Structure formats: structure tokens, C-alpha cells
Amino acid sequence: MTPSLAQPWRVDPGGLRVLVRASPKSSREGIAGVVETAQGPALAVRVHAAAQRGEANRAIELALAVWLGVPRSSVRVKAGDKSRLKTVLVAGEPALLAALLKRRAAAARLPGAPSQ
């Protein structure tokens, strides 16, 4: 078994692929930390929307875009449409996005985030 990555994102030619663990129908909304999953570390994202007709996926895209400060159109669920564990593509310059994610995670002091 390969060891998990230190962060929940990977560089992709079109930007970054972020592993997300969704919590639909949550009383709170936003990025809740980093959790360990069978696929490695994932950003825990809580949304009010129910997992019906893609509502939770759209809410996850919006929550991640707002948290990162990027246009909503640059954030798309690419895999895991009907699963709690999703791969989200954030389009843009990979090095800049990786630095932005590191800064956001450190500034938010996300529970479970890797220490700098």
C-alpha cells in the first residue's frame, strides 16, 4: 500500500484535483477540515443542500470556490457525483492554486491539515 499524500490535492495539467469528503444536509456550511479516508486525506466540506439532483455537488463547488476566492466556473466535480468522496477539479495555474490552498488551509488552521 502506498502512503497517503500530505495534502488532499494533486497537480493536474488543468489545475488541481482536490479530494473532498461531502457532508450534505449539514447544519453548518463550509470547509470543516482535513479528514483521512481510504483514498487519502480529503477536505471535509459541509453543505446545507441535500444530495438530490446534483444540488449538493453544486453547493460543494460553490463552497470551495468561495473558500479559495476563485470563480465558481473554475470549480467542477469530476468524479464521485453520487458518492460522499468526490474529486473536484479547480481550473487554473497548478503552482499558484497549490500555494493558495496551502495558505488557506494554514490561515484557517483546518483540523487535520498538515503542519507547515
The pLDDT assigned to 2 comes to 41
Domain residue ranges of the chain, discontinuous segments joined by +: 9-108
**DSSP conformation class of 63:** H
Q: Which of 41, 43, 3 has the alpha carbon at shortest distance from 20?
A: 43
User: Which run of H or of E encompasses 74?
Assistant: none
Tell me what the mean pLDDT of segment 15-25 comes to: 93
Report the residue count for the chain. Answer: 116
**Residue whose entry in the numeric block shows the C-alpha cell 497537480:** 11
Q: What is the pTM of this model?
A: 0.83
Write out pLDDT tens, residues 39-91.
989 999 999 888 888 899 999 999 999 999 999 999 999 999 899 999 999 99
**DSSP conformation class of 73:** G
If one looks up domain 9-108 in CATH, what number appears? 3.30.1200.10
Separation CA 62–CA 72 (nearest Å): 6
The pLDDT assigned to 3 comes to 42
Write out pLDDT tens, residues 21-35.
998 898 888 888 888
